[in-house]
Structure 1
Amino acid sequence: MTEQAARRPPAGPRQALAALALAQFICSFAGSNMNVMINDISEDLDTTVQGVQVAITVFLVVMAALMIPGGKLTDRYGRKRCFLTGLAVYATGALLSAAAPNLGVLILGNSILEGIGTALLIPPVYILTTLLNPDRTSRARAFGVIMALGGIGAAAGPLIGGLITTGISWRAAFVFQALVIALIILLSRRLDDPLPPDPTRSFDVFGAVLSAVGLVLVVMGILAADNTIWLTVALLLLGAAVLAYFLHWVRAREASGGEPLLSVSLFRDRVSNLGLITQNLQWLILMGTSFTAAAYLQTVRHYDAIRTGVVFTAATLGLLTASLAAERLAVRRSQRTLIMTGFIVCDAGVAALVALVATFSTAWAFVPGLLLIGLGLGVMLTPSVNLVQSQFPEKRQGEISGLSRSVSNLGSSFGTAIAGTILVSGLTTGAYAAAMITLAVVGLGGLAAAMRLPRGSEAGPVPAPPAPRGTDVYGNKD
């Protein structure tokens, strides 16, 4: 290697982080930007608000259902290869969505292909971030950047989508996604995979099918709530039964010496379990608030896409402000404290959204609540992710990253499905309040989970040496 070549690698980490953070940004953007296109898409494609809600929710549930298999595939085929493949599939779906002549093609492109692409590319984002940043300080900083862009993508999705939809067309928003994907591929040329792929690793196909079917049935059950309670109960029970059999299957496979899709030992870590719960509820609140407020503004207040997007600027500013301060906050406060504070601030924001919107008809009534929700989410998104990822050694990053992202995206699915179902059942001020109050209750559940995090498990900002093989970063046996 020449001296000039030896000087090139230092630029690698920055370029790699840019690619990984942009990937999280565009996937989060895709989950929320359609919220301001509800009227435009429904009119152009001759469908309904419920039809667009289905497209949004199917995208989220496909991600959640396939994220665990996607994480597992990284061990066999390599993290970079899965990342690039996911980007290619995503871009194909975005371009197909841009040309969609009807709702069915939009669901194929946006909900299915973009969902599959996201499930392939997101686990490598978190695995590579963990592997490329072995100490807690650099890892917290990297996750801070990634979660900041992810949260901003979700919060700013309505604004960016509104600007593009009003200025050009809702179809141009999907072209924008494809262009960002092209930039990510360009930045990923020098991306290194610290661990070699292992083609001999088996893949539990039956387990993957069981987990996907179970998760899809659960979300379908929630979506069916506005039709009949019996269908909802039947789908939820069937989904729970399939997921229970999935857990039985992986236990049996692991006991017989086979490699399951998801090791049940991942659930033996109490800190990780509580961290996963907080991740799920954070994204439920974010996506539930985004869909509820956007749908209410467009269908009840009759705002266009750009005015709706401008209202959401408050949430974006709040999230950006808190995310930029994430590293400083991590130095001064424990991760447990940050997560608890985040849920408290989010619930205060939800309360403001209900009270002020019921009292005032101006758009300014949404600003304080959305600002608080953005601040609360920005405070706690990074600590929750870092808490979970740091509990496991390198060899288990594929599994835990897939599980972590699946849990988060399932929260996004639940947020859109639960809050959206309550809202579209009435599309009134009362339905809006009911949906927001439901999200406030979810926030209280997140606070309760965060309070149960043991103080001794708080991963602080002090650099830690690499853990011995077979142990986690706290020295616990794997």
Structure 2
Amino acid sequence: MDEAAAVPRTRTGTLRRALLPLALAQFICSFAGSNMNVMINDISRDLNTTAHGVQIVITLFLLVMAALMIPGGKLADRYGRKRCFTTGLAVYCAGALLSAFSWGLGALIVGNSLLEGVGTALLIPPVYILTTLLFTQVTSRARAFGVIMAFGGVGAAAGPLIGGLITAFLGWRTAFLFQALVVALIVVLGRRIEDPLPPDASRSFDTGGAVLSAVGLTLVVMGILAADNNGWLTLALLLLGALVLAWFFRHQHARERSGREPLLSTSLFRNRVSNLGLVTQCAQWLMLMGVSFTVAAYLQVVRGYDAIETGVIFTAATLGLLVSSLAAERLVKRRAQRTLIMAGFVVTTAGIVILIALVHVIGSSWAFVPGLLLIGLGLGGMLTPSVNVVQSAFDEAQQGEISGLSRSVSNLGSSLGTAVAGTILVAGLSTGAYAAALLALVVAGFLGLIAAARLPRNRPPQSRAG
């Protein structure tokens, strides 16, 4: 009896030790996407650029992640989840160090946008694949995803606060050294992670599909970024991006018909529950990163707040996200995932509306606290259910593909949030532009709510073939 009981305890301890580095990896990647928002003035002054220049760096980082996340999932299956995880950490660390010592905007783009983006695309898919493979029970998997999404949400929400504190006392470059130190810690802790499945080197890699998907997504986001300068250029880039993405899906169909393995199986898009879950994920991260950039830029450029003042204001969002994330496990046991996601969109959208309304009424920083608190509460309550809906809709054989697709969609939402809201905002940094940028995020919230309402009323099955 004692020996039989010892095995589960040993396995539980091993899984818990593996979960910490995986959750920290999601934390630091989410942190990297939002902490620069409070450094806009400092970076602009130090590197002789503008708020729009910093917005481009942030958006490109999120875009590179979105564009390469699907190939990253396929590489993880071919070369091994643990190996890709470690390689991604190394590339990310190199990018963080280059960013810390960057001498101009170009160097910052290479370090932060490219190297950190590529590193993230390599290491994040293994995080979700390993979590799905290691935590095989429904309850333990939901709890593990809850921890990882909580770390990711807190990283994104607390990024402005932590980045603001570091920038105020040690300078913005130290924030990148902080990232490098956290990555080094993850490498040490991650040595105890064991890959449950061996790599399959015989699996082919669709290089052409990877290029087409990356180019298509890049053209779409760049088109949005160009909206404040040239309407015709924006239209041309968006149209070209749509054509390239259509070419990508046609290419995937052709590979499947010929019996070759595609970069992204089109069967993934025949799962209605997963499709709706992906829409909610995209909308969630679009709202989170859009709010983060819009409010941070407005506070610094319009109201003249410094990095630490801006970061402190975002404490309300961090607190709300922590509270709802910690309660997520209990809520999942009592409410259907559809209900939690819908409630999250309602609360988050209400928070954005309050952000718009109170800025006209209250002149102090307290005007931002109620809205940010509600946004944190709403997002923290629905991030985990959305991920669990998507990941659990497929069996183990497709976890590499769906993990890459899921993270790609989430990061595409992040880049679109920064691009859309940021482009509206920097086109005319005023109260009117601030409200217009946030209203665009409200629209995204309504779209996410509609998708959530179409999810099954009961909890979706936890393991199902696509």
Verify same fold: TM over 0.5. yes
Are positions 1:316 and 2:312 aligned together? no
Cα distance in 2 for residues equivalent to 1:112 and 1:305: 25
User: Secondary structure of the residue that 1:325 maps to in structure 2?
Assistant: helix
How far residue 87 of structure 1 moved from its aligned partner, in angstroms, is: 0.2
Cα distance in 1 for residues equivalent to 2:355 and 2:38: 18
- CA offset digits 1:47-70 (Å, max 9, x no partner): 111100000000000000000000
Cα distance in 1 for residues equivalent to 2:206 and 2:303: 49
Number of residues paired by the alignment? 461
Are positions 1:400 and 2:393 aligned together? no
1:360 corresponding residue in structure 2: 362
Counterparts of residues 316-465 of structure 1 (less than 5 Å): 316-456=318-458, 458-459=459-460
How far residue 11 of structure 1 moved from its aligned partner, in angstroms, is: 2.7
2:165 to 163, 166, 182: 163
- CA offset digits 1:394-413 (Å, max 9, x no partner): 11000000000000000000
User: Secondary structure of the residue that 2:226 maps to in structure 1?
Assistant: helix
1:267 to 255, 266, 269: 269
Are positions 1:97 and 2:92 aligned together? no
**Structure 2 residue runs without a partner (length 5+):** none
How far residue 391 of structure 1 moved from its aligned partner, in angstroms, is: 0.5
- Could you tell me which amino acid in structure 2 is paired with residue 124 of structure 1? P
User: Secondary structure of the residue that 1:100 maps to in structure 2?
Assistant: coil
- CA offset digits 1:270-308 (Å, max 9, x no partner): 000000000000000000000000000000010000000
How far residue 8 of structure 1 moved from its aligned partner, in angstroms, is: 5.9
Cα distance in 2 for residues equivalent to 1:414 and 1:9: 40
User: Secondary structure of the residue that 2:276 maps to in structure 1?
Assistant: helix
Cα distance in 1 for residues equivalent to 2:27 and 2:18: 14
Cα distance in 2 for residues equivalent to 1:27 and 1:473: 27
User: Secondary structure of the residue that 2:177 maps to in structure 1?
Assistant: helix
How far residue 9 of structure 1 moved from its aligned partner, in angstroms, is: 5.0
How far residue 236 of structure 1 moved from its aligned partner, in angstroms, is: 0.2
1:466 corresponding residue in structure 2: none
- Could you tell me which amino acid in structure 2 is paired with residue 388 of structure 1? V
- Could you tell me which amino acid in structure 2 is paired with residue 318 of structure 1? G
- Could you tell me which amino acid in structure 2 is paired with residue 287 of structure 1? M
1:278 corresponding residue in structure 2: 280
2:198 corresponding residue in structure 1: 196
**Structure 1 residue runs without a partner (length 5+):** 460-471
Cα distance in 2 for residues equivalent to 1:12 and 1:79: 17
How far residue 253 of structure 1 moved from its aligned partner, in angstroms, is: 0.3
Cα distance in 1 for residues equivalent to 2:233 and 2:156: 31
User: Secondary structure of the residue that 1:199 maps to in structure 2?
Assistant: coil
- Could you tell me which amino acid in structure 2 is paired with residue 155 of structure 1? A
2:230 corresponding residue in structure 1: 228
- Could you tell me which amino acid in structure 2 is paired with residue 316 of structure 1? T
How far residue 225 of structure 1 moved from its aligned partner, in angstroms, is: 0.3
User: Secondary structure of the residue that 2:360 maps to in structure 1?
Assistant: helix
TM-score scaled to structure 2, two decimals?
0.97
Cα distance in 2 for residues equivalent to 1:286 and 1:354: 15
Cα distance in 2 for residues equivalent to 1:454 and 1:10: 32
Cα distance in 1 for residues equivalent to 2:308 and 2:175: 13
- CA offset digits 1:64-110 (Å, max 9, x no partner): 00000000101100000000000000000000000000000000000
1:244 corresponding residue in structure 2: 246
Contact kept in structure 1, 2:216 and 2:244, CA below 8 Å? yes
1:64 corresponding residue in structure 2: 66
Counterparts of residues 6-17 of structure 1 (less than 5 Å): 9-17=11-19
User: Secondary structure of the residue that 2:277 maps to in structure 1?
Assistant: helix
How far residue 477 of structure 1 moved from its aligned partner, in angstroms, is: 4.7
Change (3 A) 1:206 1:318: same
Cα distance in 2 for residues equivalent to 1:340 and 1:131: 28
Cα distance in 2 for residues equivalent to 1:30 and 1:258: 37
Cα distance in 1 for residues equivalent to 2:451 and 2:10: 45
Cα distance in 1 for residues equivalent to 2:221 and 2:233: 12
Counterparts of residues 171-190 of structure 1 (less than 5 Å): 171-190=173-192
How far residue 10 of structure 1 moved from its aligned partner, in angstroms, is: 4.3
**Segment drifting more, 8-17 vs 267-276:** 8-17
Contact kept in structure 1, 2:393 and 2:465, CA below 8 Å? no
User: Secondary structure of the residue that 1:16 maps to in structure 2?
Assistant: helix
Change (3 A) 1:154 1:477: closer
Counterparts of residues 292-311 of structure 1 (less than 5 Å): 292-311=294-313
How far residue 473 of structure 1 moved from its aligned partner, in angstroms, is: 3.7
- CA offset digits 1:224-281 (Å, max 9, x no partner): 0000110000000000000000000000101110000000000000000000000000
2:122 corresponding residue in structure 1: 120
User: Secondary structure of the residue that 1:302 maps to in structure 2?
Assistant: coil
User: Secondary structure of the residue that 1:359 maps to in structure 2?
Assistant: coil
CA RMSD in angstroms, aligned pairs only:
1.2
Runs (4+) off by over 2 Å: 5-11
1:22 corresponding residue in structure 2: 24
